[in-house]
Amino acid sequence: MGHEFDRDIAVTRVDETTFTAELGAGWDVGGAVNGGYLLATIGNALGQVAPGKPDPIVVSCFYLTAATAGPATIVTRTIRDGGSMATLAADLVQDGQPRITVTATYGDLSALPDDVRTTATAHELPPLEECVPSSMAPEEVRRMAPLMGRFDLRLDPAYAGWAVGEPSGNGIIQGWIRLVDEREPDPLSLLLMLDALPPVTFDLGMPGWAPTLELTAHVRGVPAPGWLRVRHETRNMARGMFEEDCVVWDSSDRLIAQSRQLARSPRSR
Amino acid sequence: MGHEFDRDIAVTRVDETTFTAELGAGWDVGGAVNGGYLLATIGNALGQVAPGKPDPIVVSCFYLTAATAGPATIVTRTIRDGGSMATLAADLVQDGQPRITVTATYGDLSALPDDVRTTATAHELPPLEECVPSSMAPEEVRRMAPLMGRFDLRLDPAYAGWAVGEPSGNGIIQGWIRLVDEREPDPLSLLLMLDALPPVTFDLGMPGWAPTLELTAHVRGVPAPGWLRVRHETRNMARGMFEEDCVVWDSSDRLIAQSRQLARSPRSR
Protein backbone atom coordinates (compact mmCIF):
# COMPACT_ATOMS: atom_id res chain seq x y z
CA MET A 1 0.00 0.00 0.00
CA GLY A 2 2.23 2.71 -1.28
CA HIS A 3 -0.22 5.61 -1.47
CA GLU A 4 -1.43 7.76 1.41
CA PHE A 5 -5.02 7.85 0.08
CA ASP A 6 -5.22 4.05 0.22
CA ARG A 7 -3.69 3.95 3.69
CA ASP A 8 -6.01 6.63 5.01
CA ILE A 9 -9.31 5.28 3.62
CA ALA A 10 -8.48 1.75 4.82
CA VAL A 11 -11.21 0.07 6.87
CA THR A 12 -11.12 -3.05 9.01
CA ARG A 13 -14.11 -5.34 8.95
CA VAL A 14 -15.23 -6.19 12.48
CA ASP A 15 -18.29 -8.25 11.61
CA GLU A 16 -20.69 -8.66 8.73
CA THR A 17 -21.95 -5.09 8.90
CA THR A 18 -19.42 -3.11 10.95
CA PHE A 19 -16.08 -1.59 9.99
CA THR A 20 -13.56 0.53 11.84
CA ALA A 21 -11.42 3.28 10.36
CA GLU A 22 -8.72 5.63 11.56
CA LEU A 23 -9.44 9.05 10.09
CA GLY A 24 -6.20 10.74 9.10
CA ALA A 25 -5.35 14.22 10.40
CA GLY A 26 -3.82 15.01 7.01
CA TRP A 27 -7.35 15.50 5.61
CA ASP A 28 -8.32 18.22 8.09
CA VAL A 29 -9.55 21.69 7.29
CA GLY A 30 -9.80 23.95 10.29
CA GLY A 31 -10.00 21.02 12.70
CA ALA A 32 -12.71 19.02 10.93
CA VAL A 33 -12.13 16.19 8.49
CA ASN A 34 -12.89 16.95 4.82
CA GLY A 35 -16.27 15.65 3.63
CA GLY A 36 -14.92 14.13 0.43
CA TYR A 37 -12.36 12.10 2.35
CA LEU A 38 -15.10 10.85 4.68
CA LEU A 39 -17.21 9.91 1.69
CA ALA A 40 -14.35 7.91 0.16
CA THR A 41 -13.73 6.11 3.46
CA ILE A 42 -17.39 5.21 3.92
CA GLY A 43 -17.50 4.32 0.21
CA ASN A 44 -14.58 1.95 0.75
CA ALA A 45 -16.49 0.09 3.47
CA LEU A 46 -19.68 -0.07 1.38
CA GLY A 47 -17.75 -1.59 -1.51
CA GLN A 48 -17.16 -4.67 0.63
CA VAL A 49 -20.80 -5.24 1.62
CA ALA A 50 -22.60 -6.47 -1.50
CA PRO A 51 -20.82 -9.31 -3.34
CA GLY A 52 -20.01 -8.41 -6.96
CA LYS A 53 -20.99 -4.76 -6.41
CA PRO A 54 -17.74 -3.02 -5.47
CA ASP A 55 -18.34 0.42 -6.99
CA PRO A 56 -20.29 3.50 -5.92
CA ILE A 57 -22.79 4.65 -8.55
CA VAL A 58 -24.94 7.08 -6.54
CA VAL A 59 -24.02 8.15 -3.02
CA SER A 60 -26.16 10.55 -0.99
CA CYS A 61 -24.75 11.75 2.30
CA PHE A 62 -26.14 13.97 5.01
CA TYR A 63 -23.52 15.64 7.19
CA LEU A 64 -24.89 15.76 10.74
CA THR A 65 -21.95 17.10 12.76
CA ALA A 66 -18.27 17.56 12.02
CA ALA A 67 -16.08 14.45 12.12
CA THR A 68 -12.56 14.68 13.50
CA ALA A 69 -9.33 12.79 12.96
CA GLY A 70 -9.05 9.56 14.90
CA PRO A 71 -11.00 6.34 15.26
CA ALA A 72 -14.43 5.95 13.70
CA THR A 73 -16.92 3.15 13.26
CA ILE A 74 -18.86 2.59 10.05
CA VAL A 75 -22.10 0.68 10.52
CA THR A 76 -23.54 -0.57 7.24
CA ARG A 77 -26.93 -1.92 6.25
CA THR A 78 -28.17 -3.64 3.10
CA ILE A 79 -31.50 -2.15 2.09
CA ARG A 80 -31.90 -4.19 -1.07
CA ASP A 81 -29.50 -6.37 -3.03
CA GLY A 82 -30.99 -7.64 -6.25
CA GLY A 83 -30.10 -7.74 -9.92
CA SER A 84 -27.03 -5.78 -10.92
CA MET A 85 -27.27 -3.14 -8.20
CA ALA A 86 -27.60 -2.95 -4.44
CA THR A 87 -28.99 -0.15 -2.27
CA LEU A 88 -26.89 0.20 0.86
CA ALA A 89 -26.71 2.51 3.88
CA ALA A 90 -23.98 3.48 6.33
CA ASP A 91 -23.55 5.66 9.38
CA LEU A 92 -20.14 6.95 10.35
CA VAL A 93 -20.06 7.07 14.14
CA GLN A 94 -17.61 8.77 16.51
CA ASP A 95 -17.99 8.89 20.28
CA GLY A 96 -21.32 7.11 19.95
CA GLN A 97 -22.75 9.86 17.71
CA PRO A 98 -23.54 9.54 14.01
CA ARG A 99 -21.54 12.15 12.09
CA ILE A 100 -22.68 11.28 8.59
CA THR A 101 -25.47 9.14 7.26
CA VAL A 102 -25.16 7.72 3.76
CA THR A 103 -27.43 5.89 1.33
CA ALA A 104 -25.93 4.53 -1.86
CA THR A 105 -26.46 2.46 -4.96
CA TYR A 106 -23.55 0.12 -5.64
CA GLY A 107 -22.78 -1.96 -8.68
CA ASP A 108 -19.94 -2.97 -10.99
CA LEU A 109 -18.85 -0.01 -13.11
CA SER A 110 -16.72 -2.19 -15.35
CA ALA A 111 -19.77 -4.30 -16.26
CA LEU A 112 -21.86 -1.41 -17.56
CA PRO A 113 -22.57 -1.02 -21.29
CA ASP A 114 -20.19 1.08 -23.39
CA ASP A 115 -22.58 3.65 -24.86
CA VAL A 116 -21.61 7.31 -24.38
CA ARG A 117 -23.99 10.00 -25.65
CA THR A 118 -22.82 12.81 -23.38
CA THR A 119 -23.82 16.21 -24.79
CA ALA A 120 -22.09 18.25 -22.09
CA THR A 121 -18.76 19.77 -23.08
CA ALA A 122 -15.85 20.07 -20.71
CA HIS A 123 -15.32 23.51 -19.18
CA GLU A 124 -12.56 25.63 -20.68
CA LEU A 125 -9.44 25.48 -18.57
CA PRO A 126 -6.04 27.06 -19.21
CA PRO A 127 -3.14 24.64 -19.70
CA LEU A 128 -1.71 23.15 -16.53
CA GLU A 129 1.38 25.36 -16.59
CA GLU A 130 -0.74 28.53 -16.68
CA CYS A 131 -2.74 27.56 -13.59
CA VAL A 132 -1.96 28.51 -9.99
CA PRO A 133 -0.51 25.66 -7.90
CA SER A 134 -2.13 25.42 -4.47
CA SER A 135 1.36 24.83 -3.08
CA MET A 136 1.81 28.60 -3.49
CA ALA A 137 -0.69 29.18 -0.65
CA PRO A 138 0.76 30.96 2.39
CA GLU A 139 2.25 28.75 5.10
CA GLU A 140 -0.44 29.73 7.65
CA VAL A 141 -3.21 28.70 5.26
CA ARG A 142 -1.59 25.34 4.64
CA ARG A 143 -1.19 24.85 8.40
CA MET A 144 -4.92 25.54 8.91
CA ALA A 145 -5.79 23.22 6.01
CA PRO A 146 -3.49 20.19 5.90
CA LEU A 147 -5.94 18.84 3.29
CA MET A 148 -4.25 21.07 0.73
CA GLY A 149 -1.09 19.04 1.03
CA ARG A 150 -2.85 15.91 -0.18
CA PHE A 151 -3.33 17.23 -3.71
CA ASP A 152 -1.49 18.67 -6.59
CA LEU A 153 -4.14 21.28 -7.42
CA ARG A 154 -3.72 23.87 -10.17
CA LEU A 155 -6.41 26.52 -10.03
CA ASP A 156 -7.66 28.45 -13.03
CA PRO A 157 -6.36 31.96 -12.31
CA ALA A 158 -9.63 33.47 -13.62
CA TYR A 159 -11.35 32.21 -10.48
CA ALA A 160 -8.48 32.13 -8.00
CA GLY A 161 -8.39 35.83 -7.09
CA TRP A 162 -10.03 35.10 -3.74
CA ALA A 163 -6.66 33.76 -2.60
CA VAL A 164 -5.34 37.33 -2.74
CA GLY A 165 -8.54 39.07 -1.65
CA GLU A 166 -9.89 39.65 -5.17
CA PRO A 167 -12.72 37.16 -5.74
CA SER A 168 -14.11 37.10 -9.28
CA GLY A 169 -17.72 37.21 -8.07
CA ASN A 170 -18.80 34.40 -10.42
CA GLY A 171 -19.26 31.61 -7.89
CA ILE A 172 -16.90 29.31 -9.79
CA ILE A 173 -13.72 27.46 -8.78
CA GLN A 174 -12.03 25.12 -11.23
CA GLY A 175 -8.72 23.55 -11.97
CA TRP A 176 -6.58 20.50 -12.59
CA ILE A 177 -6.26 18.03 -9.72
CA ARG A 178 -4.52 14.81 -8.80
CA LEU A 179 -3.36 13.20 -5.60
CA VAL A 180 0.00 14.60 -4.51
CA ASP A 181 1.78 11.25 -4.74
CA GLU A 182 0.35 10.72 -8.21
CA ARG A 183 -1.87 7.83 -7.20
CA GLU A 184 -4.10 7.30 -10.22
CA PRO A 185 -7.83 8.08 -9.93
CA ASP A 186 -10.40 5.37 -9.33
CA PRO A 187 -14.08 5.41 -8.35
CA LEU A 188 -13.28 5.94 -4.65
CA SER A 189 -10.92 8.83 -5.27
CA LEU A 190 -13.60 10.43 -7.45
CA LEU A 191 -15.79 10.61 -4.33
CA LEU A 192 -12.96 12.58 -2.72
CA MET A 193 -12.40 14.85 -5.71
CA LEU A 194 -16.07 15.87 -5.79
CA ASP A 195 -15.69 17.65 -2.46
CA ALA A 196 -12.00 18.49 -2.16
CA LEU A 197 -11.88 22.14 -3.23
CA PRO A 198 -12.70 25.20 -1.12
CA PRO A 199 -16.38 26.21 -1.16
CA VAL A 200 -17.34 28.21 -4.28
CA THR A 201 -18.50 30.96 -1.95
CA PHE A 202 -14.80 31.93 -1.68
CA ASP A 203 -15.16 33.16 -5.26
CA LEU A 204 -18.17 35.25 -4.18
CA GLY A 205 -16.11 37.03 -1.53
CA MET A 206 -17.44 34.93 1.35
CA PRO A 207 -14.42 33.20 2.83
CA GLY A 208 -16.08 31.48 5.80
CA TRP A 209 -16.92 27.87 6.43
CA ALA A 210 -19.92 26.62 4.44
CA PRO A 211 -21.26 23.50 6.15
CA THR A 212 -22.76 20.97 3.74
CA LEU A 213 -26.23 19.72 4.56
CA GLU A 214 -26.34 17.05 1.87
CA LEU A 215 -24.21 15.96 -1.07
CA THR A 216 -25.19 13.52 -3.80
CA ALA A 217 -22.42 12.04 -5.94
CA HIS A 218 -22.77 10.18 -9.23
CA VAL A 219 -19.82 8.07 -10.37
CA ARG A 220 -20.30 7.25 -14.03
CA GLY A 221 -17.34 5.05 -14.82
CA VAL A 222 -13.80 4.03 -14.00
CA PRO A 223 -11.66 7.12 -14.68
CA ALA A 224 -8.74 7.05 -17.09
CA PRO A 225 -5.27 7.54 -15.54
CA GLY A 226 -3.87 11.07 -15.32
CA TRP A 227 -4.99 14.52 -14.32
CA LEU A 228 -8.64 15.23 -13.59
CA ARG A 229 -10.36 18.50 -14.42
CA VAL A 230 -12.79 19.68 -11.77
CA ARG A 231 -15.26 22.55 -11.73
CA HIS A 232 -17.49 23.78 -8.92
CA GLU A 233 -20.24 26.31 -9.49
CA THR A 234 -23.18 27.81 -7.65
CA ARG A 235 -26.11 29.49 -9.36
CA ASN A 236 -28.72 29.69 -6.61
CA MET A 237 -27.51 31.35 -3.44
CA ALA A 238 -30.66 32.31 -1.56
CA ARG A 239 -32.29 32.17 1.85
CA GLY A 240 -29.06 31.42 3.69
CA MET A 241 -28.20 28.42 1.51
CA PHE A 242 -26.55 27.66 -1.79
CA GLU A 243 -26.33 24.70 -4.11
CA GLU A 244 -22.91 23.72 -5.41
CA ASP A 245 -22.57 21.60 -8.54
CA CYS A 246 -19.35 19.80 -9.31
CA VAL A 247 -18.25 18.04 -12.48
CA VAL A 248 -15.13 15.92 -12.88
CA TRP A 249 -13.74 15.16 -16.35
CA ASP A 250 -11.03 12.56 -16.80
CA SER A 251 -8.04 12.56 -19.14
CA SER A 252 -9.99 10.67 -21.79
CA ASP A 253 -12.46 13.58 -21.92
CA ARG A 254 -15.28 11.74 -20.18
CA LEU A 255 -17.67 13.42 -17.73
CA ILE A 256 -16.84 10.78 -15.17
CA ALA A 257 -18.41 12.12 -11.95
CA GLN A 258 -20.93 14.76 -10.90
CA SER A 259 -22.15 16.01 -7.58
CA ARG A 260 -24.55 18.53 -6.17
CA GLN A 261 -24.62 19.68 -2.60
CA LEU A 262 -26.77 22.04 -0.59
CA ALA A 263 -24.78 24.01 1.98
CA ARG A 264 -25.40 26.82 4.38
CA SER A 265 -24.03 30.15 3.26
CA PRO A 266 -21.05 31.42 5.23
CA ARG A 267 -21.95 34.18 7.64
CA SER A 268 -21.49 37.56 5.99
CA ARG A 269 -18.35 39.47 6.83
CA MET B 1 -60.08 19.43 1.78
CA GLY B 2 -61.18 20.60 -1.61
CA HIS B 3 -58.17 19.60 -3.70
CA GLU B 4 -57.31 16.14 -4.99
CA PHE B 5 -53.58 16.57 -4.29
CA ASP B 6 -54.29 17.19 -0.60
CA ARG B 7 -56.69 14.26 -0.40
CA ASP B 8 -54.29 11.92 -2.15
CA ILE B 9 -51.14 12.77 -0.15
CA ALA B 10 -53.04 12.57 3.16
CA VAL B 11 -51.43 10.35 5.80
CA THR B 12 -52.81 8.99 9.04
CA ARG B 13 -50.53 8.85 12.03
CA VAL B 14 -50.65 5.42 13.64
CA ASP B 15 -48.02 5.99 16.31
CA GLU B 16 -45.05 8.26 16.94
CA THR B 17 -43.13 7.05 13.91
CA THR B 18 -45.60 5.27 11.65
CA PHE B 19 -48.11 6.62 9.15
CA THR B 20 -50.50 4.99 6.71
CA ALA B 21 -51.48 6.31 3.30
CA GLU B 22 -53.80 5.28 0.50
CA LEU B 23 -51.92 5.81 -2.77
CA GLY B 24 -54.30 7.12 -5.41
CA ALA B 25 -54.66 5.35 -8.76
CA GLY B 26 -54.95 8.76 -10.41
CA TRP B 27 -51.18 9.17 -10.12
CA ASP B 28 -50.34 6.02 -12.08
CA VAL B 29 -48.18 5.78 -15.15
CA GLY B 30 -48.28 2.38 -16.80
CA GLY B 31 -49.41 0.66 -13.61
CA ALA B 32 -46.84 2.16 -11.22
CA VAL B 33 -47.34 5.21 -9.05
CA ASN B 34 -45.46 8.37 -10.10
CA GLY B 35 -42.27 9.01 -8.11
CA GLY B 36 -43.00 12.69 -7.49
CA TYR B 37 -46.39 11.88 -5.99
CA LEU B 38 -44.75 9.28 -3.71
CA LEU B 39 -42.18 11.85 -2.68
CA ALA B 40 -44.88 14.36 -1.78
CA THR B 41 -46.79 11.76 0.23
CA ILE B 42 -43.69 10.68 2.16
CA GLY B 43 -42.77 14.36 2.51
CA ASN B 44 -46.17 15.02 4.04
CA ALA B 45 -45.57 12.38 6.73
CA LEU B 46 -42.04 13.67 7.44
CA GLY B 47 -43.40 17.19 7.95
CA GLN B 48 -45.23 15.93 11.03
CA VAL B 49 -42.24 14.28 12.69
CA ALA B 50 -39.98 17.10 13.91
CA PRO B 51 -41.78 19.86 15.86
CA GLY B 52 -41.33 23.28 14.25
CA LYS B 53 -39.75 21.77 11.13
CA PRO B 54 -42.66 21.24 8.74
CA ASP B 55 -40.90 21.83 5.42
CA PRO B 56 -38.68 19.71 3.17
CA ILE B 57 -35.35 21.41 2.37
CA VAL B 58 -33.34 18.51 0.94
CA VAL B 59 -34.91 15.15 0.18
CA SER B 60 -32.92 12.23 -1.22
CA CYS B 61 -34.88 9.17 -2.28
CA PHE B 62 -33.82 5.82 -3.61
CA TYR B 63 -36.48 3.96 -5.61
CA LEU B 64 -36.14 0.26 -4.83
CA THR B 65 -39.12 -1.26 -6.60
CA ALA B 66 -42.27 0.17 -8.16
CA ALA B 67 -45.05 1.23 -5.79
CA THR B 68 -48.65 0.66 -6.78
CA ALA B 69 -51.97 2.32 -5.95
CA GLY B 70 -53.50 1.20 -2.65
CA PRO B 71 -52.50 1.09 1.00
CA ALA B 72 -48.95 1.90 2.06
CA THR B 73 -47.15 2.33 5.35
CA ILE B 74 -44.59 5.06 5.94
CA VAL B 75 -42.12 4.28 8.71
CA THR B 76 -40.16 7.34 9.83
CA ARG B 77 -37.02 7.78 11.89
CA THR B 78 -35.41 10.86 13.42
CA ILE B 79 -31.68 10.74 12.76
CA ARG B 80 -30.89 14.09 14.35
CA ASP B 81 -33.10 16.95 15.49
CA GLY B 82 -31.10 19.94 16.63
CA GLY B 83 -30.95 23.66 15.96
CA SER B 84 -33.12 24.89 13.10
CA MET B 85 -33.03 21.71 11.04
CA ALA B 86 -33.70 18.01 11.50
CA THR B 87 -32.37 15.05 9.55
CA LEU B 88 -35.10 12.46 9.08
CA ALA B 89 -35.58 9.16 7.28
CA ALA B 90 -38.56 7.24 5.96
CA ASP B 91 -39.32 3.99 4.21
CA LEU B 92 -42.49 3.56 2.20
CA VAL B 93 -43.57 -0.04 2.60
CA GLN B 94 -46.11 -2.10 0.67
CA ASP B 95 -46.79 -5.80 1.20
CA GLY B 96 -43.98 -5.87 3.76
CA GLN B 97 -41.39 -4.64 1.23
CA PRO B 98 -39.73 -1.21 1.20
CA ARG B 99 -40.48 0.50 -2.11
CA ILE B 100 -38.65 3.75 -1.48
CA THR B 101 -36.15 4.83 1.13
CA VAL B 102 -35.80 8.53 1.88
CA THR B 103 -33.44 10.71 3.90
CA ALA B 104 -34.28 14.36 4.32
CA THR B 105 -33.41 17.63 5.98
CA TYR B 106 -36.47 19.42 7.31
CA GLY B 107 -36.82 22.94 8.64
CA ASP B 108 -39.07 25.97 8.49
CA LEU B 109 -38.82 27.62 5.06
CA SER B 110 -40.70 30.70 6.25
CA ALA B 111 -38.08 31.31 8.95
CA LEU B 112 -35.11 31.46 6.58
CA PRO B 113 -33.35 34.77 5.86
CA ASP B 114 -34.51 36.86 2.91
CA ASP B 115 -31.30 37.18 0.89
CA VAL B 116 -31.49 36.16 -2.77
CA ARG B 117 -28.32 36.27 -4.86
CA THR B 118 -29.40 33.80 -7.53
CA THR B 119 -27.30 34.19 -10.69
CA ALA B 120 -29.19 31.59 -12.73
CA THR B 121 -31.68 32.98 -15.21
CA ALA B 122 -34.98 31.32 -15.96
CA HIS B 123 -35.11 29.28 -19.14
CA GLU B 124 -36.80 30.87 -22.13
CA LEU B 125 -40.33 29.62 -22.53
CA PRO B 126 -42.98 30.67 -25.07
CA PRO B 127 -46.10 32.27 -23.62
CA LEU B 128 -48.65 29.91 -22.14
CA GLU B 129 -51.00 30.20 -25.08
CA GLU B 130 -48.28 29.15 -27.54
CA CYS B 131 -47.47 25.95 -25.62
CA VAL B 132 -48.99 22.52 -26.23
CA PRO B 133 -51.55 21.44 -23.61
CA SER B 134 -51.05 17.86 -22.44
CA SER B 135 -54.83 17.46 -22.64
CA MET B 136 -54.28 17.16 -26.39
CA ALA B 137 -52.59 13.78 -25.86
CA PRO B 138 -54.39 10.83 -27.52
CA GLU B 139 -57.01 9.07 -25.42
CA GLU B 140 -54.98 5.81 -25.27
CA VAL B 141 -51.96 7.69 -23.87
CA ARG B 142 -54.06 9.33 -21.19
CA ARG B 143 -55.57 5.96 -20.29
CA MET B 144 -52.07 4.49 -19.86
CA ALA B 145 -50.98 7.54 -17.85
CA PRO B 146 -53.80 8.80 -15.60
CA LEU B 147 -51.08 11.00 -14.02
CA MET B 148 -51.46 13.36 -16.98
CA GLY B 149 -54.98 14.21 -15.86
CA ARG B 150 -53.69 15.64 -12.56
CA PHE B 151 -51.98 18.60 -14.20
CA ASP B 152 -52.59 21.45 -16.50
CA LEU B 153 -49.29 21.09 -18.37
CA ARG B 154 -48.35 23.24 -21.35
CA LEU B 155 -45.26 21.96 -23.13
CA ASP B 156 -42.82 24.12 -25.05
CA PRO B 157 -43.46 22.99 -28.65
CA ALA B 158 -39.69 23.17 -29.38
CA TYR B 159 -39.22 20.05 -27.23
CA ALA B 160 -42.61 18.37 -27.59
CA GLY B 161 -42.11 16.75 -31.01
CA TRP B 162 -41.65 13.34 -29.38
CA ALA B 163 -45.41 13.31 -28.87
CA VAL B 164 -45.81 13.00 -32.64
CA GLY B 165 -42.72 10.86 -33.26
CA GLU B 166 -40.37 13.77 -33.96
CA PRO B 167 -38.12 14.20 -30.90
CA SER B 168 -35.86 17.25 -30.97
CA GLY B 169 -32.79 15.27 -29.91
CA ASN B 170 -31.79 17.84 -27.28
CA GLY B 171 -32.69 15.93 -24.14
CA ILE B 172 -34.90 18.74 -22.86
CA ILE B 173 -38.57 18.90 -21.84
CA GLN B 174 -40.01 22.10 -20.44
CA GLY B 175 -43.26 23.91 -19.94
CA TRP B 176 -45.78 25.61 -17.71
CA ILE B 177 -47.41 23.49 -15.04
CA ARG B 178 -50.02 23.67 -12.31
CA LEU B 179 -52.35 21.22 -10.64
CA VAL B 180 -55.47 20.66 -12.73
CA ASP B 181 -57.85 21.98 -10.08
CA GLU B 182 -55.67 25.08 -9.69
CA ARG B 183 -54.53 24.21 -6.17
CA GLU B 184 -51.75 26.69 -5.49
CA PRO B 185 -48.16 25.40 -5.18
CA ASP B 186 -46.54 24.82 -1.80
CA PRO B 187 -43.36 23.03 -0.69
CA LEU B 188 -45.00 19.59 -0.87
CA SER B 189 -46.39 20.11 -4.37
CA LEU B 190 -42.91 21.24 -5.47
CA LEU B 191 -41.68 17.74 -4.59
CA LEU B 192 -44.32 16.44 -6.99
CA MET B 193 -43.52 18.94 -9.74
CA LEU B 194 -39.82 17.97 -9.73
CA ASP B 195 -40.69 14.51 -11.04
CA ALA B 196 -44.01 14.90 -12.81
CA LEU B 197 -43.01 15.17 -16.48
CA PRO B 198 -42.14 12.33 -18.87
CA PRO B 199 -38.44 11.31 -18.82
CA VAL B 200 -36.24 13.65 -20.91
CA THR B 201 -35.17 10.59 -22.86
CA PHE B 202 -38.49 10.97 -24.76
CA ASP B 203 -36.88 14.04 -26.35
CA LEU B 204 -33.90 11.87 -27.36
CA GLY B 205 -36.14 9.45 -29.23
CA MET B 206 -36.15 6.85 -26.46
CA PRO B 207 -39.78 6.51 -25.44
CA GLY B 208 -39.43 3.65 -22.92
CA TRP B 209 -39.65 3.63 -19.16
CA ALA B 210 -36.58 5.10 -17.43
CA PRO B 211 -36.51 3.83 -13.85
CA THR B 212 -35.03 6.30 -11.38
CA LEU B 213 -32.27 5.00 -9.12
CA GLU B 214 -32.06 8.11 -6.94
CA LEU B 215 -33.49 11.61 -6.92
CA THR B 216 -32.38 14.49 -4.72
CA ALA B 217 -34.72 17.47 -4.38
CA HIS B 218 -33.91 20.92 -3.00
CA VAL B 219 -36.85 23.10 -1.94
CA ARG B 220 -35.58 26.64 -1.58
CA GLY B 221 -38.63 28.54 -0.39
CA VAL B 222 -42.40 28.77 -0.28
CA PRO B 223 -43.50 29.25 -3.90
CA ALA B 224 -45.59 32.22 -4.98
CA PRO B 225 -49.14 31.42 -6.18
CA GLY B 226 -49.71 30.82 -9.86
CA TRP B 227 -48.16 28.87 -12.70
CA LEU B 228 -44.78 27.20 -12.28
CA ARG B 229 -42.20 26.92 -15.04
CA VAL B 230 -40.39 23.59 -15.11
CA ARG B 231 -37.44 22.39 -17.17
CA HIS B 232 -35.84 18.95 -17.31
CA GLU B 233 -32.54 18.34 -19.06
CA THR B 234 -29.95 15.60 -19.42
CA ARG B 235 -26.37 16.21 -20.45
CA ASN B 236 -24.63 12.97 -19.52
CA MET B 237 -26.25 9.88 -20.97
CA ALA B 238 -23.60 7.17 -20.76
CA ARG B 239 -23.05 3.58 -19.71
CA GLY B 240 -26.75 2.73 -19.59
CA MET B 241 -27.63 5.62 -17.29
CA PHE B 242 -28.44 9.30 -17.49
CA GLU B 243 -28.70 12.17 -15.08
CA GLU B 244 -31.76 14.40 -15.27
CA ASP B 245 -31.69 17.89 -13.81
CA CYS B 246 -34.90 19.75 -13.09
CA VAL B 247 -35.46 23.37 -12.16
CA VAL B 248 -38.75 24.91 -11.07
CA TRP B 249 -39.27 28.68 -11.22
CA ASP B 250 -42.27 30.28 -9.56
CA SER B 251 -44.44 33.18 -10.71
CA SER B 252 -42.30 35.66 -8.75
CA ASP B 253 -39.31 34.60 -10.88
CA ARG B 254 -37.57 32.69 -8.12
CA LEU B 255 -35.61 29.47 -8.70
CA ILE B 256 -37.70 27.77 -6.03
CA ALA B 257 -36.79 24.08 -6.43
CA GLN B 258 -34.14 21.95 -8.09
CA SER B 259 -33.62 18.25 -8.46
CA ARG B 260 -31.19 15.84 -10.00
CA GLN B 261 -31.85 12.19 -10.57
CA LEU B 262 -29.85 9.29 -11.93
CA ALA B 263 -31.95 6.90 -13.97
CA ARG B 264 -31.41 3.85 -16.13
CA SER B 265 -31.62 4.55 -19.84
CA PRO B 266 -34.64 3.09 -21.57
CA ARG B 267 -33.86 0.01 -23.62
CA SER B 268 -33.07 0.95 -27.21
CA ARG B 269 -35.80 0.46 -29.72
Instruction: Please report residues of A whose CB lies closer than 8 A to that of B238.
Output: 115-118, 220-221, 254-255
Whose CA is closest to A195, among A77, A13, A73, A42? A42
Q: Domain A4-109+125-264: which CATH class?
A: mainly beta
Whose CA is closest to A243, among B249, B58, B251? B58
Question: Which of B88, B220, B252 to mutate to test binding with chain A, by most A CBs within 10 Å of its CB?
Answer: B220
Q: What architecture (CATH level 2) is domain B4-108+130-264? A: Beta Barrel (2.40)
- How confident is the model over B72-94, as a mean pLDDT? 97
pLDDT the model gives residue A208:
85
Domain boundaries, chain A: 4-109+125-264
A123 in helix, strand or coil? coil
pLDDT the model gives residue B269:
45
Contact B225/B184 with Cβ under 8 angstroms?
Answer: yes
Whose CA is closest to A262, among A220, A219, A210? A210
pLDDT the model gives residue B136:
81
Does the beta-carbon distance from B101 to A98 stay under 8 Å? Answer: no
A122 touches chain B (CB under 8 A): no
Predicted ipTM of the assembly: 0.96
pLDDT at A1 over 70: no
Question: Which of A62, A212, A268 to mutate to test binding with chain B, by most B CBs within 10 Å of its CB?
Answer: A62
A157 in helix, strand or coil? helix
pLDDT, one tens digit per residue, over B154-170 is 999 999 999 888 999 99
pLDDT, one tens digit per residue, over B211-260 is 999 999 999 999 999 999 999 999 999 999 999 999 999 999 999 999 99
pLDDT at B1 over 70: no
Determine whether B124 is exposed, middle or buried from the number of CB atoms within 10 Å of its CB (0-12, 13-18, 19+): exposed
pLDDT the model gives residue A268:
56
Instruction: Please report residues of A whose CB lies closer than 8 A to that of B93.
Output: none
Residues 213-252, chain B: which have Cβ within 8 Å of A?
213-214, 216, 218, 220-221, 234-241, 243
Instruction: Please report residues of B whose CB lies closer than 8 A to that of A258.
Output: 236, 243, 260
In whole angstroms, what is the distance from residue B173 CA to residue B170 CA? 9
**Interface contacts A/B by beta carbons within 8 Å:** 158
- How confident is the model over B49-69, as a mean pLDDT? 97
* DSSP codes of every residue in A181-197: T-PPP-HHHHHHHTT-S
Residues 15-34, chain B: which have Cβ within 8 Å of A?
none
